[in-house]
Structure 1
Amino acid sequence: MEITLTLSDELVRKLHQLPNPDEFVSEAIVRAFNTYVFQTASRPSKWARIVQRVQNDPVHLDGYSEQFKQDIREFRNHFTLMHDK
């Protein structure tokens, strides 16, 4: 697979001086991914953020917060997957 990157002129000159620039870039990217902590893993999901918002500020529900919390409890207590039946 090919990809086009925009690099500074200085980086391009240094890459062209290497004996195998493609291999160098590939290995550098692999090393970077091995040490990179992806932000999506630490960020709560959309649903987790909604639950947090409801728990922290039930005013958003305009009087439906108790019913909503009861619905959440019922769903959590009775949730099963098809293969669990």
Structure 2
Amino acid sequence: MGAVDAAFVWSNFALQFANTSRIIYPWSCGYETKPFYFVGYVTSYTNNTKAALKFLQYLNSPEALGELKKLGYFTSVEEAYKFMGKG
């Protein structure tokens, strides 16, 4: 394939809500929700499985989690539930 080695797809969500002035979170209205997770995987098309797996391991490292946290991502289920007022 050769098109993309890795991608963070947050821009899809950001563009979807670009002109939104207010977001009402479902759990604040009594709806039962659960946090969802972004996943990473290595496809069978990769040319360098070892490097791809190393990158996925890096994404779980304290360094990478710190950077993701700076960008506004939750880095644990506990953080997400705390944000939702359930933790």
Instruction: Tell whether the structures are fold-level matches, with TM greater than 0.5.
Output: no
> Which TM-score applies when normalising by structure 1?
0.23
- Higher normalized helix content (fraction of residues): 1
Q: TM-score of the superposition, structure 2-length normalised?
A: 0.22
Q: Which structure's CA Rg is the greater one?
A: 1
